[in-house]
Amino acid sequence: MHGGFTTMQSTAKGRCMVALTVRLFGRFGIFCGDQAKPTLNNRAARELLCYLVLHRNHPQRRETLADLLWQDSSPEQARKYLRQALWRIQSALRPVADGGGMQALEVDPEWIQLNSCDQLQVDVAQFEEAMRCCHGIPGAQLDDIARRRLEDAVGLYRGDLLEGWYQDWCLAERERFQNELLDALEKLVCWCESRHDSERGLAYAKRMLALDPAREQVYRHMMQLHVLAGNRTQALREFQRCERVLMQELGVEPSQQTRALHESIRDGSVASPWRDSGVSGTPGSASGFALEPLPALDELLKRAQHLFAGIETRFRQDIAAAAGRPIEPD
């Protein structure tokens, strides 16, 4: 295996006969096994291939593609450039067909679509498939298979989609994949919390902050993970960093939820997670460890206990008086 993809087979001369890998995360590239193929040097052909990859589930009209990629050209020139770009793509992906598979592109006079086949591996397709398999499953409830699929997915994300490209259609897709990556990392952080795996959880959380420094819930995750690791001081520092970043980036203060967690850690009311080494988490606790009641809540509970005790005493006195019996002391 290499980077989540099936190892490619080759002939004695080293020519790829089975599959090609197209990478859109980070820098665009076409690979045969570990070797980059220096093909498809034409900018328009690369852009056309990437657009077809990202919209592989829907056929695209020729006129739409020509207008998108050659806006400054006449309709006749745009159609000519489109034909040339298609020829370049088919030449670059010819090993897919030579390896006994179908043509990489399905082309007719009106429509163009990328064919899905085992001979053509695409990193964004594998990423999206892993995300679909884990959709709707809370992070703490991931089984080992789903968790490994998410780990493979975030491993495929070597960088933002098509780094260095600034076309409008590319920017929109880049943001979509960033949000999906953040969702995947969030699930993995929650899974790590529920298993008391602070080291891996912190690594995932730091990767989230690299993408979105003002994502407040990540700081709460990191505070909880540091507590799990027995590092209360660092947990308090994470709150300070959260406070500083939110003010710098958004001009706001941490939410009440974040402040409440900070106060519970500062006051030492966070229970030790290691009381039972075989327990992976406390039921109902998404963070994987139990939080003792906050001081204000604890005081309210005590007052309620006193109130109910007084009501019980008064009730007993009333019953005794009605029955003509002496009142028994508590």
The whole-number pLDDT of residue 274 equals 40
What mean pLDDT comes out for the span 120-126? 93
Distance CA 178, CA 157 (A): 9
Question: Which pLDDT score, from 0 to 100, does residue 68 have?
Answer: 92
Question: Mean pLDDT of all residues in the chain?
Answer: 82
Q: Hey, where are the domains in the chain? A: 20-122, 212-292, 296-330
**Lowest mean pLDDT, pick from 18-22, 68-72, 136-140, 232-236:** 18-22
The pLDDT-based confidence of 96 (bands split at 50, 70, 90) is: confident
Instruction: Give the per-residue pLDDT at 99.
Output: 59
Q: What is the pLDDT of residues 193-235, one digit of tens each?
A: 999 999 999 999 999 999 999 999 999 999 999 999 999 999 9
Distance between CA atoms of residues 112 and 162, nearest Å: 22
Q: With contact defined as beta carbons under 8 Å apart, do 76 and 113 qualify?
A: no
What pLDDT is recorded for position 283? 34
- Quick: pLDDT tens for 247-275: 999 999 999 999 999 999 999 876 544 43
pTM of the model: 0.75
Confidence of residue 309 (pLDDT cuts 50, 70, 90): low
In the chain, the percentage of residues whose pLDDT exceeds 70 is: 74
Note the CATH number of domain 20-122: 1.10.10.10
Asked if pLDDT for residue 180 goes beyond 70, the answer is: yes
**How far, CA to CA in Å, does 297 sit from each of 110, 218, 247?**
68, 25, 29
**pLDDT at residue 132 tops 60:** yes
Q: How confident is the model at residue 53, as a pLDDT?
A: 95
Tokens 């964004």 label which residue?
A: 124
pLDDT band at 284 (very low <50, low <70, confident <90, very high): very low
Mean pLDDT confidence for 277-290: 38
- What pLDDT sits at residue 47? 96
